[in-house]
Structure 1
């Protein structure tokens, strides 16, 4: 499988393009709003040192994309493709997504996810998403695009507290028949 994890994808209102070091300050401007992280398990990612570690990890991992609004060419968020796993028809994780609060509720997340899913399903059969169990905003957004919660979950720790990530997925067939088709 040869999924391009850093494509340039264009939608009606957005361009998703490979994230670069030059995007750090513009993306931090978005991420520095504590409201972005209030339901996220890593709730302090608005802090500079926590954001910088997250940004560096995204660059190092590959697959990170800047989300740019076409109307003003402003970075309004970020998202990422994880590594491609070859078993069971292939799957990739889409995640690490955040948008500035002024973009919430305007249909930009489904627009972005439609393009990302269509791109991924050229090469893989399933896309997975991991979301904190108390991140109801993201859980609702995933369910609205047709992602289904699996029985799987992952346990981690952050600042001494237990963090539960629920695993959602969309198959190629479900995507083609679902709300984003």
Structure 2
């Protein structure tokens, strides 16, 4: 991710439906998205997703270390343009990120807002299981999260079942 990605990434995330299940439901507004973008850029661990057919940016995600699982890696702060929902895109993105993460750790964590049913379902499709709920400061203030854990072994089985 670079500073030059703002306009294209904002275009991918400018539909209110993209953020309906996220804690910051108004992130489709340019000034709110700018705060999100700047935080992701500052993290230096955010990856952008590019549609190979169009060359356009369609979303992003990042790695981070959660305060309650510092020995592991977490994946989050993810969004994907709603034009890509319901297909294979999320799985492919997460496959690449998870394969990379599992080179270094045995467990990967996802922290999901309790109201974000769409992300809970998508994360469960990856093989992650809801391990516990916690109040954590992941993005600047303590809030409630559903903490999902995916183990290397479970991920290998999910990938195999998907033909990877």
- Shorter-chain TM-score bucket reads 0.7 to 0.9
Once residues 72 and 46 of structure 2 are traced to their aligned partners in structure 1, the CA distance between those partners, rounded to angstroms, is 17
Q: What are the ranges of 5 or more consecutive residues in structure 2 without an aligned counterpart?
A: none
Q: What are the ranges of 5 or more consecutive residues in structure 1 without an aligned counterpart?
A: 1-18, 157-161
Aligned to 2:110: 129
Q: Which has the higher contact order (CA 8 A, sep 6+)?
A: 1
- Between Structure 1 and Structure 2, the one with more helix by share is 2
- Between Structure 1 and Structure 2, the one with more strand by share is 1
Once the two structures are superposed, what CA deviation does each residue of 1:8-36 show, in whole Å capped at 9, x if it has no partner? Answer: xxxxxxxxxxx111100000011111010
1:130 touches 1:165 (CA, 8 Å); kept in 2?
Answer: yes
Aligned to 2:61: 79
2:133 touches 2:144 (CA, 8 Å); kept in 1?
Answer: no
Once residues 151 and 72 of structure 1 are traced to their aligned partners in structure 2, the CA distance between those partners, rounded to angstroms, is 40
Q: TM-score of the superposition, structure 1-length normalised?
A: 0.80
Aligned to 1:118: 99
Once residues 95 and 81 of structure 2 are traced to their aligned partners in structure 1, the CA distance between those partners, rounded to angstroms, is 19
2:21 touches 2:117 (CA, 8 Å); kept in 1?
Answer: yes
Q: TM-score of the superposition, structure 2-length normalised?
A: 0.88
Q: Does 1:104 align with 2:85?
A: yes
Q: How many residues align?
A: 155
Runs of 4+ in 1 over 3 A off after TM superposition: none
Please give the secondary structure, in 1, of the residue aligned with 2:7: helix
